Structure 1
Amino acid sequence: MIVRSPLVPSLALAAEIERSKIGYMSDRMTAIRSREGNPEGVEIRAFGQAVAFYSRTMPWPAFNTVKGLRNGDADALEDILAFYNERGRRPQFEIVPGLADTGLLRRLSELGCELSGYHTSLYADPSTRSIPAGSALGEPAGITVRELREEEIELYATIHCRGTGLPDDGIRPVAANNRVLFGRPGWKIFLASVHESPAAVGVLHVKDGIASCTFAATLPEYRNRGLQQLLLKRRLEEAAAQGCRLAVSQCAYASQSHRNMERVGMKIGYIRSSWTARN
């Protein structure tokens, strides 16, 4: 029997958490790009140790972000900004504490970028199943969690859009961009229902022993029922079943998502900063 040492915050762990995010984002964007004709105009470009993601039709920061910047990448920043400027997009740079030095931050500022926010990354060892006592994570009467079926992808897209405040005309493109994940190694989508009424979703990506709890959403009328805690628990169980040594997720600090993650036993790995090019 192999006994692993408890996971504790470290620069090595931070780097592994970030690698998992680059991994699932690269795989997701590659899947979207593989649609016939690349209708979303997805591009993925490496600059030194960093990876830049871009989409012509999806202007949100999540799809136009730079991950993986490290000490020594300051010389690549002008090329990265030129890449986005040529495409009419303001990029977001994700900076992980301890992995980027003051020289890199100074150069970002000199090139017209500014601090624009913070985001929290959390982690857990799914094999320990260290769910806090009293967290009441058994499925309550009338609530079920199961894996989503491919023919239900428009249902997923509906919950995605309505749960995040996107208009219903986004349902078809969201469905198309997530349908490509079915049958793709490492991806699973889970659905939570209340008395058989679909209410919430959560996405999981597994690769190289690391599970990433990625997107999640709940319909407004079903919030505050513990559905996202149940979806997190289900994904951690799946990660444990697949032998993962690490599970990660991210959220806004002190948000409801943050509280849900702490309640299922996840801990803060780091709080990254975001830098955005000024207008």
Structure 2
Amino acid sequence: MGGERLFCDVALAARIERAEARLTAESSDAARARRGDTIGFARPFSGGVASFAEDDSPFNKVIGLGFGGLPSTAELDEIEHAFAELGSPVQVELCQLADAGTGGFFTERGYRLESFENVLGRRLGDTDVPDGVRLSRDDELETWLSEVADAVAVADTEGLPSHEDFPRETVVNAMRDMAGVRRYLAERNGEFAGGASFRVTEGIAQFTGAATVPAHRRRGVQTALLRARLAAATEAECDVAVVTTQPGSKSHQNVQRQGFDLLYTRAILVKGTSATSSSGADSRQAS
């Protein structure tokens, strides 16, 4: 992993945040399509998106803003009202490279800092495809969702604990609704050992989650899933891969070992009842 390190300037951060906003909006829309109703929203907000997918969803948040000036008070009033009507707190995931004053704009409105999450990235190049990892077939979707949800439920104890805590059904729904992803599975000794996913948005490979079955942890499964997705992202002609992790977590350590650099941190700002959600990305990985 001795190649050129990836430096994140404001332009790259804005590009990644736009991709995250697009993922959030498309997945929020998919949740409504799955249910067959119109409850919730995914609407543009100050260059990003404000989304409510369903109760307790990781897609209930404001993300991607802060790269085109501050929102107006009237705009924020409208967003807060929309979340309040659905009984939800407002959770803002704010990139540290956003416009100066964005954080203060929200804290002056009563938002509190609840946690942080790290966004890491790396350039793409030749990566071998490890044995035992393959694309999950369409007819394996229910098995993949069930196995990964069960693995996510058993949190890894190394590193800082996650601030997230989702019901199993919510995890399954969120993974099912995640728009445009490619799903991978890893096998050991003929058993399902782990699952992971990623999607491509305008040349960015977004690693959108991974989990290892507890019985197969510390056996290189997460590393194999990472390398398989890196190879696929290179084949898809992406120029950068990104992943979101809990700071100090085993997942954070694993992706750094695979050449990912820390690009920036997001501050999680919340107004209302304490939130349980985050990006829905690899921050919920279980090693």
TM-score (norm 2): 0.80
**Is the Cα–Cα contact under 8 Å of residues 114 and 278 in structure 1 kept in the other structure?**
no
C-alpha displacement of 1:64: 1.0
Name stretches of at least 5 consecutive residues in structure 1 with no aligned partner: 130-136
The 1:176/1:86 distance shift into structure 2, 3 A limit, reads closer
Amino acid at match of 2:143: L
* Partner SS, residue 123 of structure 1: strand
Cα deviation, 1:240-277, whole Å, max 9, x if unaligned, reads 00111111110011211111111111111101111011
Whole-angstrom CA distance in 2 between matches of 1:36 and 1:196: 35
Amino acid at match of 2:260: M
Amino acid at match of 1:66: V
Counterpart of 1:68 in structure 2 is 64
Counterpart of 2:43 in structure 1 is 45
Q: 2:264 aligns with which of 270, 274, 277?
A: 270
Name stretches of at least 5 consecutive residues in structure 2 with no aligned partner: 155-164, 274-287
The 1:38/1:157 distance shift into structure 2, 3 A limit, reads farther
Counterpart of 2:219 in structure 1 is 225
Residue 146 of structure 2 corresponds to residue 158 of structure 1 = yes
C-alpha displacement of 1:22: 1.5
Specify the structure having the higher radius of gyration (Cα). Answer: 1
Amino acid at match of 1:124: R
Taking the TM superposition and a 5 Å limit, the aligned residue runs for 1:1-279 are 7-35=6-34, 37-38=36-37, 41-57=39-55, 59-60=56-57, 62-70=58-66, 71-75=69-73, 76-102=75-101, 104-127=102-125, 129=127, 139=130, 144-165=132-153, 170=168, 178=175, 186-279=180-273
* Partner SS, residue 34 of structure 1: helix
C-alpha displacement of 1:225: 1.4
Out of 87-96 and 72-81, give the one that drifted further.
Answer: 72-81
**Is the Cα–Cα contact under 8 Å of residues 145 and 191 in structure 1 kept in the other structure?**
yes
C-alpha displacement of 1:227: 0.8
**Is the Cα–Cα contact under 8 Å of residues 125 and 246 in structure 1 kept in the other structure?**
yes
The 1:18/1:223 distance shift into structure 2, 3 A limit, reads same
Q: Percent identity?
A: 28
**Is the Cα–Cα contact under 8 Å of residues 112 and 278 in structure 1 kept in the other structure?**
no
Amino acid at match of 1:10: D
The 1:180/1:274 distance shift into structure 2, 3 A limit, reads closer
Whole-angstrom CA distance in 1 between matches of 2:6 and 2:81: 39
* Partner SS, residue 63 of structure 1: coil
TM-score (norm 1): 0.82
Amino acid at match of 1:158: S
Whole-angstrom CA distance in 1 between matches of 2:194 and 2:264: 27
The 1:106/1:205 distance shift into structure 2, 3 A limit, reads same
**Is the Cα–Cα contact under 8 Å of residues 124 and 265 in structure 1 kept in the other structure?**
yes
C-alpha displacement of 1:236: 0.7
* Partner SS, residue 35 of structure 1: helix
**Is the Cα–Cα contact under 8 Å of residues 77 and 108 in structure 1 kept in the other structure?**
no
* Partner SS, residue 97 of structure 2: coil
RMSD: 2.6
